[in-house]
A and B are shown apart, each in its own frame.
Chain A
C-alpha cells in the first residue's frame, strides 16, 4: 500500500500540473495598461509555486515509496538535519518573498498609489441589488447630488436625481452599460446604494468592492476595444449570481457617438 500511495501522489501531482502548463484555463488576455505587471507577477508566482509544489509532492512520493515497510538497517538522519531545513526555508521562501514583494509593490502601486490623471474621463458607477448603473457628468463636468429618498426604479430614477432643483443633475447621462474610450484613463467613482457589492472585469485586471457609506475611486486605462463582462463579486443577496453589466471599450470617435446618443435618450 505504501508503494501504491507513493505512485498515487506522484501521478496526482503531475496531473495537477498539466492544465497549468498547458494553459488550459488561463486568465483572458489583459486589456489594461496596469494589467501586464499583474500578469507578470502571476506567472512568476506560478513558476515558483509550481516548482515548490512538484518538488514537495515528488519528494513525499519518493520517500514514501522508498521507506514504507522498511524493517532492516538503522534509522538514518537527513544530512544537515533540522538546521538545513530552517536555512533552506529561510533562503528559498525569503528570497521569493523579497522578489515577489518588491515586484508586487510596483503592480499594486500602479493601481492605487497614483492619483487619476487630470484629463481622465469621469464616470460614476452605482451598485445596488441587483444591477449596476453608470452615470456620466455631461458637459458641465459635475454630477448632480444623489438623493436617496428620491431613488425610484419604476420611474428610472436610479440615482435619485432632482433635475428640477439641482442644476448639475440636469445634464447627467445615466446608462445601464459602461462605455469608455480606449487608451484614455477613466476615473470610476464607486457608490453603493444598499449593501456591499464589487466591480470585477477580468480582462481589465480590476476588482474593487463598493462599500456603503464610502465613496471610492478607481482609475484605469483600457487598451483594446471590445465588449467585456462586469460581474458582481461581493455576496449581495439572492440576485448576486445574476448581477452583471457590460463594459464596451470603443474608439474615441465611437465613444463620442455613443455618449451623444445616450444623452438624447435621457
Chain B
C-alpha cells in the first residue's frame, strides 16, 4: 500500500477517560455514541409499540407495571385513551428522530464518512461533539415529557395545530408535555444542522489524494446527499417549532384562528392558520423520510456490492438517482395534505412529482436486481439484510404509489394503509439498512465478528415477522380502518379484530427476536472471534486500516487512492478484488 508522507495530526490523542469516551471529538467515538443513543431509543420505542398493540386488541387488560410509568394515564395498569395517544406520540417521535435520523445517518455516517474518504476526522471535530451532546439533551427533554404531571403529548409526531397549540383546554396530554416536545425537537434541529454542516464540509474538503467525488463509495454519497437535504429541511422545522412553542407559552396566534371554543372556553387567539403548521411541518417532514431512507440505500448498495463480488450495473446512475430523489423530495410535501382543505388544484401539482419520484427509486431497484444476475452472491447476515431491504423497499414503495394519487387518497388517507406504507419503508426497510450496516461494520468498529448463526436467526425471524406485522396493515386500510384510534368501537371495525390480534401477536414475537440481536451485539463485543483488517475482502478505505482503526484512522499516514471503490470481479488480481489504496493497475475486463 503506497503511503504519502505523514502530516501533523489533526489533534492530539486524548488521555483522560472523559476525553476518550464522554466528551470526545473523535468522530468514531461520536458515531458510536449516536449508535448507542439510537439503540436505547429504538428499544424504548419498540416497548411503546407493544403497549399500544396490546391495548388495541385487549383494551381492558391490566398491563403489569404500567402504573409505574403513569399513575394518571394507567391507573390500575389499564391504559386511558389519552395515554394510548401519548405512547403513540412518543413512539413516533422517538423512532423518526432519534432512531431513523440518528442510526443510518449520524451514527454510521460519523464513523465511516471520514475514513472512507481518507480523512483523519471530520472538518469540525468540536462542532461534532456538540452535535451529539445537543442531540442527547434533546432526547432528555423529550423523555422528561413522560414524567410531567399532565403526561406526554398526545397530538402525534406530527403535532397538528390547533390541537398542539391551544394548550391544556384541548385535553390531557397537551400541557407541559407538548411544550417539552416542541423544545426537544427544536434542540434536535440545531444538533442536526451542526451535524449536516460537518458532513458537507468534510466531504467537499477533506478527501485524500486521488479520492475524486466519483471514487467515493455509494454510502458516502448517500450520507453527503442526505446531509444536504437535512441542512435545508431542519432549517425549516426549527422556526416551525419556535412558532408553536410561542403559541403555547406566549399567547401568540401563528397557528390558531379566532372563534375557537375548546372545552367550553373561547380561546383568546386570532388570525392564525392551522394549515400553516402543516405546510411548514411537511416541508420538513417529507425530506425527513428521505433522510431516513437514503443512507440505508447507500449502506445496502455498499454491502450488496461486496457480497455480490461485483459493482452495480452503473455507479454513476445510482448516484444520479439518489440526487434526483433528494431534489424531488422537496417538491412533494403537499401529498400529506390532499384532503387538508388546501386548494384542490395544488393537490394535482403535488401529486405529479410524487409519482415521478417513483422513477429513480425504480431505477435503483432494477439496478440492484439486475446486478444480482450473474453475481457470486455471498450469503452472510449483512448481505441477507441488504437483500431483505430490497424486498421491503419494493413492498413499501408500491403502497406509496396508491397514496400519491389524490383521488385514491380520499379513501385511504388516515387509514392503516398509510401506517403500513410508512412502517414498511421507514420502520422496516430503513432499519434493515441499519442492521446490514451493523453486521457489516461491527468487525471494523470492534475488531470482532458477530455470531453468524444468531445473526441469521435474527434475520429470518425479523424478515418474516415484520411482513406478518405490516402487510396486514394494508388490508386493514383497504377496509377503511382509521388510524390513531386507541380502541376500535365503530361498527365496521369489529369484523377486523382478528386481523389486529394476529398483528399484535406477530409484533410481540418479532419484538422478542430483537433481543437475539441485542445479545449478539453485547456478547460479540467481548467474546466474538477476532476479525482482522478485512474480513469481508472489501475494497473501500475503511478496510485498509486496522480493526478498530487507530486514533487518527490511518496511523499517521495519509492513504492514496488509485481506484474507484468497487473493483470486484477483477480477473488476475490477488483474490477477486483490488482495494482502493492498492497501486495494482486495473485489468481491462
User: A and B: direct contact (Cβ < 8 Å)?
Assistant: yes
Q: Which residues does chain B contribute within 8 Å of A45, judged by CB atoms?
A: 401-402, 405, 408
Expressed in whole angstroms, the minimum distance between the Cβ of A145 and any Cβ of chain B is 11
Cβ proximity bits B554-589 to A, threshold 8 Å, 1 near / 0 not: 000000000000001101000000000000000000
1/0 per residue A170-203: CB within 8 Å of B? 0000000000000000000000111110101010
How close is A67's CB to chain B, nearest CB, in angstroms?
A: 4
Q: Which residues of A contact B486 (CB under 8 A)?
A: 238, 240-241
Compute how far the CA of A234 lies from the CA of B312 in the bound complex, rounded to whole angstroms: 44
Contacts of B257 in A (CB 8 A): 212-214
Interface contact A213-B258, CB-CB below 8 Å: yes
A57 to chain B: which residues have CB within 8 Å?
391, 394-395
Asked whether B351 lies within 8 Å of A75 as measured between CB atoms, the reply is no
Contact A111 B410 (CB under 8 A): yes
B401 and A8 within 8 A (CB):
no
- Indicate if the CB atoms of A196 and B310 lie closer than 8 Å: no
Q: Tell whether, in the assembled complex, residue A8 and residue B460 are in contact, meaning their CB atoms are under 8 Å apart.
A: yes
Q: Contact string, B346-362, partner A, CB cutoff 8 A, digits 1/0? A: 01100110011011101
Contact across chains for B374 and A76 when beta carbons are under 8 A apart:
yes
Q: Is the CB of B407 within 8 A of A108?
A: yes
Contact of B367 among A82, A105, A153 (CB under 8 A): A82
Partner of A19, one of B174, B390, B475: B475
In the assembled complex, which residues on chain B have CB atoms less than 8 Å from the CB atom of A46?
A: 402
- Whether A196 contacts B489 in the complex (CB less than 8 A), given A75-B375, A82-B317, A93-B359, comes out as no
**Interface-facing stretch out of B164-172, B202-210, B237-245:** B164-172
**8 Å CB interface, A33-50 against B:** 37-38, 41-42, 45-46, 48-49
Q: How far is the CB of A244 from chain B (nearest CB, A)?
A: 6
Q: A258 CB to closest chain B CB, in angstroms?
A: 21
Q: A63-B372, A86-B363, A196-B162 are in contact. Are A238 and B348 (CB under 8 A)?
A: no
**Interface 9-mer from A24-32, A117-125, A131-139, A161-169:** A24-32
What sequence of 0s and 1s flags, for each residue 59-101 of chain A, a beta carbon within 8 Å of any chain B beta carbon? 1100110011111011111100111111011101110110011
Known: A86-B363, A89-B363, A216-B341. A108 touches B406 (CB 8 A): yes
Using A53-B398, A101-B355, A148-B261 as known contacts, say yes or no to A16 and B471 having CB atoms under 8 A apart.
yes
Which residues of A lie under 8 Å from residue B492 when comparing CB positions?
28, 202, 229
Are A234 and B160 in touch, CB under 8 angstroms? yes
B54 CB-CB contact with A under 8 Å: no
Instruction: Give A56 Cβ to nearest chain B Cβ, in Å.
Output: 4
Partner pick for B479 among A25, A94, A100, A148, CB 8 A cutoff: A25
CB distance from A146 to the nearest CB of B (A): 8
Residues 191-242 of A contacting B (Cβ, < 8 Å): 192-196, 198, 200, 202, 205-214, 216, 229, 231-242
Residues of A within 8 A of B365 (CB): 56
Interface readout for B384-414 with A: 1 if CB under 8 Å, 0 if not? Answer: 1001001100110011011001111011011
Contact A85-B363, Cβ < 8 Å, known A56-B394, A213-B272? yes
**Which residues between 473 and 496 of chain B lie within 8 Å of chain A, taking CB atoms?**
475-476, 478-480, 482-492, 496
- Residue B260 lies at the interface, judged by CB distance under 8 Å to chain A: yes
Q: Complex: how many Å from CA A113 to CA B406?
A: 13
* Interface pair B355/A100, CB less than 8 Å apart: yes
Chain A residues, CB < 8 A from B402: 42, 45-46, 49
The answer to whether the Cβ of B371 comes within 8 Å of any Cβ in the partner chain is yes
**Given known contacts A208-B341, A209-B341, A56 and B369 CB-to-CB distance under 8 angstroms:** yes
A90–B491 alpha-carbon span in the complex (Å): 44
Q: Find the residue from B256, B274, B341 having the highest chain A CB count within 10 A.
A: B341
Query: Pick the contact of A78 from B172, B266, B371 — CB < 8 Å?
Result: B371
* Contact partners of B373 in chain A: CB under 8 A: 63, 67, 76-78
Specify which of A16, A192, A195 lies most central, judged by the most chain B CB atoms within 10 Å of its CB: A195
Residue of B163, B261, B358 near A128 (CB, 8 A) is B261
CB distance from A11 to the nearest CB of B (A): 9
C-alpha gap A27/B226 in the complex (Å): 38
* Closest chain B residue, CB of each to CB of A85: B366
What is the bound-complex CA distance between A32 and B269, given in angstroms? 39
* CB of B456 closer than 8 Å to a CB of A: yes
**Residues of the B chain whose Cβ atoms lie less than 8 Å from the Cβ of A76:** 373-374
C-alpha gap A24/B260 in the complex (Å): 43
Q: In chain A, what residue has the closest Cβ to B373? A: A78
Query: Which residues in chain B, 395-441, are within 8 Å of chain A measured between CB atoms?
Result: 395, 398-399, 401-402, 405-408, 410-411, 413-415
Chain A's nearest CB lies how many Å from the CB of B154? 7
Are the CB atoms of A238 and B261 closer together than 8 Å? Answer: no
A1:B379 contact, CB within 8 angstroms:
yes
Contact A26 B479 (CB under 8 A): yes
Q: Is the CB of B407 within 8 A of A111?
A: yes
* A251: Cβ under 8 A from any B Cβ: no
Interface flag for B82 (CB, 8 Å): yes
Q: Which residues of B lie under 8 Å from residue A78 when comparing CB positions?
A: 313, 370-371, 373-374
Q: Assuming A69-B378, A148-B261, A238-B172, is B387 touching A207 (CB within 8 A)? A: no
- Mask of B72-113 contacts with A, CB within 8 angstroms, 1/0: 000000001110010000000000000000000000000000
List of A residues within 8 angstroms of B372 by Cβ: 60, 63-64, 67
| Chain B residues, Cβ within 8 Å of A263 | none
Of A41, A92, A94, A160, the contact of B405 (CB 8 Å cutoff): A41
Interface assignment of B51: CB less than 8 Å from any CB of chain A: no
| Interface presence of A259 (CB below 8 A) | no
B residues within 8 A CB of A85? 313, 317, 363, 366-367, 370
Given A27-B478, A237-B170, are A198 and B339 also a contact pair (CB < 8 Å)? yes
Contact in complex: A238, B163 (CB < 8 Å): no
B405 → chain A, closest Cβ, in Å?
A: 5
Q: Please tell me if A2 contacts chain B, counting CB pairs below 8 Å.
A: yes
CB distance from A84 to the nearest CB of B (A): 8
Q: Which of B273, B360, B394 has the most CB of A within 10 A?
A: B394
Interface membership of B344, Cβ < 8 A? yes
Out of A9, A59, A108, A196, name the residue touching B344 (CB < 8 Å): A108
**B259 contacts A238, C-beta separation under 8 Å:** no
Given A104-B407, A213-B273: A151 and B261 interface contact (C-beta under 8 Å): yes
Chain B residues with a Cβ under 8 A of chain A: 80-82, 85, 154-156, 160-163, 166, 170-174, 256-264, 266, 272-275, 308-310, 312-314, 317, 339-341, 344-345, 347-348, 351-352, 355-356, 358-360, 362-363, 365-367, 369-379, 384, 387, 390-391, 394-395, 398-399, 401-402, 405-408, 410-411, 413-415, 456, 460, 463-464, 467, 471, 475-476, 478-480, 482-492, 496, 499, 568-569, 571
Sample 22 A-B pairs with CB under 8 A, ordered by A number: A5-B384, A12-B467, A25-B496, A42-B402, A46-B402, A67-B308, A75-B376, A76-B373, A76-B374, A82-B370, A89-B362, A89-B363, A101-B355, A108-B344, A108-B347, A194-B262, A202-B492, A205-B410, A237-B171, A240-B486, A241-B485, A242-B81
The 9 residue pairs across chains A and B that have the minimum distance between CB atoms? A213-B257, A76-B374, A82-B314, A107-B407, A112-B344, A238-B82, A85-B366, A233-B414, A78-B370
Q: A129-B170, A200-B482 are in contact. List 8 more A-B contacts (CB 8 A).
A: A25-B475, A37-B407, A45-B401, A60-B387, A85-B313, A89-B363, A151-B261, A233-B415
